[in-house]
Amino acid sequence: MVQRHDASTLHFDFRLEIGGVLVSWAVPKGPSLDPRDRRLAAMTEDHPLDYADFEGRVGDGYGAGTVVVWDTGTFENITEKQGEPVSAEDALAAGHLKFVLHGQKLTGAFAITHTKMGGDDKFWLLVKIDDDGADRRRKPALTQPESVLSGRTNEDFED
């Protein structure tokens, strides 16, 4: 699932359910359907599964701002090493996870790869793999701000 989070800056919280938690990355520009785009993804703390449908206002302090569920669906791990399947947990530990999204806004294969940009361990790159879900023209992160659950936008939750 992906939450659109308007905190100190607008970003997208990209979350995959792995090992009973939502493994999470903050993606400043949002996921892209264009395989030419490389999206910075800063790994954040894992979130509990019951956070997956949260929409509303996060109070003062860390993460303060508004949140909507921008996309939801399932994912299928397709990571392999030497032709053998690799578990999502092992792929994350190795720094490269390849998966297919079955979402309402995001579909098709993606990869997220660990990078040590600037010597910082939290940075990853999120990339759309060129397949039937790729679309170089459609920009859902820019043109579809509404929640897939409620139809509301972040602005609907502002004071």
Determine the pLDDT at residue 9: 93
Please, which residues have CB within 8 angstroms of residue 14's CB and are 6 or more apart in sequence? 2, 24, 25, 26, 27, 31, 41, 126
What single string gives the DSSP state of each residue in the chain? -EEEEESSSEEEEEEEEETTEEEEEEETT---S-TT-EEEEEE---B-GGGTT--EEE-SSTT-EEEEEEE-EEEEE--EETTEE--HHHHHHHTEEEEEEEESS-EEEEEEEE--GGG-TTEEEEEE-SSTT--SS--HHHH--S-TTT---GGGG--
Task: Read off the pTM.
Answer: 0.94
pLDDT band at 62 (very low <50, low <70, confident <90, very high): confident
> What distance in Å separates the CA atoms of residue 96 and residue 151, rounded to the nearest whole number?
33
| pLDDT one-digit tens code per residue, 63-93 | 789 999 999 999 999 999 999 999 999 999 9
pLDDT band, residue 116 (cuts 50/70/90): confident
- Tell me the domain boundaries of the chain: 2-157
Q: Can you give the pLDDT at residue 144?
A: 97
